[in-house]
Structure 1
Amino acid sequence: MSSEHMQIGEVAARTELSLRTIRHYEETGLVIPSARSQGGFRLYTEADVARLMVIRRMKPLGFTLDEMRDLLDITDRLDAAAGDDLPADRREELLERLRDFDRAAKKRVEDLRTQLSRAEEFAAALAARLTRVPAP
């Protein structure tokens, strides 16, 4: 096995994703192991790990599998067309879709901050209430 490749257990440890989750992302086509060992074990590269990290970061923001797939497709196309291989109008279309994801992510982060603030207020109110409970 090449030192460039990792088995799924190492990838799981590095990404903090379960084996089951990684396999699920494979089944849905979000990430495909770059190779297989002679024994049939999935083998992943640093690029596969980076792809899984994108997915892991999108999940808490509530992006769907289809949205994850769309973003990965956009970034794959932009990366593959590094330079001037992509027509300008197609490149701009992909960049605009990427900007849409950026705006959506920022909005979802702000929504999560609001939810967290409300949750912290609630927890503080409960803690304050507990301090006011008379001793038996």
Structure 2
Amino acid sequence: MGSEHMQIGEVAARTELSLRTIRHYEEAGLVIPSARSQGGFRLYTEADVARLMVIRRMKPLGFTLDQMRDLLDATERLDAGTGLDAGERTALLERVRTYEQAASDQVEKLRVQLSRAEDFATTLRAHLERAGQAAAPQG
């Protein structure tokens, strides 16, 4: 698929993001369409979709648009690998490590919240079962 371009509707379907959200991320400078059609339609590549997927994964973990931009910049520079001296590479790796730690911390917080929510739902089901048995006609 290398240089194959997709219109925004296909990108939205693949990323499960709305057109409005994709346009918002474009306005924020997080993902810029790789090209435009002759009719002016936004055209995206696999690399653009990959950027949107990173953004989609960061959003529910509470990362800001600036943090998303910073991480995308760091990972792209590391992936390109050209023109980096040892100090720059070390600094970029440290930036990515900081985001990995923040993501891991947030995932753990979400696990605790999920566990509490599951306990709450179980408590409600038990309550409904007890109340249902009490209300059942005696026969």
The interval holding the TM-score normalised by the smaller chain is: over 0.9
Aligned-residue sequence identity (percent) comes to 77
Matched, 1:43 2:43: yes
Given candidates 106, 109, 114, the residue that maps to 2:107 is 109
CA–CA distance in structure 2, aligned partners of residues 98 and 67 of structure 1: 11
CA–CA distance in structure 1, aligned partners of residues 22 and 77 of structure 2: 23
Q: TM-score, normalised by structure 2?
A: 0.92
Where do residues 71-110 of structure 1 align in structure 2 (5 Å cutoff)? 71-82=71-82, 85-110=83-108
**1:63-97 residue CA offsets vs partner (Å, 9 max, x unmatched):** 11111011011112112224xx2110111001001
CA–CA distance in structure 2, aligned partners of residues 129 and 51 of structure 1: 46
| Unaligned segments of structure 1, at least 5 residues | none
Matched letter for residue 52 of structure 2: L
Matched letter for residue 117 of structure 1: S
Q: Secondary structure of the residue that 1:30 maps to in structure 2?
A: coil
Matched letter for residue 105 of structure 2: K
Number of residue-to-residue matches in the alignment: 132
Moved more, 45-54 or 70-79: 70-79
Q: TM-score, normalised by structure 1?
A: 0.94
CA–CA distance in structure 2, aligned partners of residues 123 and 67 of structure 1: 34
Q: Secondary structure of the residue that 2:135 maps to in structure 1?
A: coil
Note the aligned Cα RMSD (angstroms): 1.1
Matched, 1:135 2:128: no
Give the drift of 1:135: 1.0
Q: Secondary structure of the residue that 1:43 maps to in structure 2?
A: strand
Matched letter for residue 46 of structure 2: E
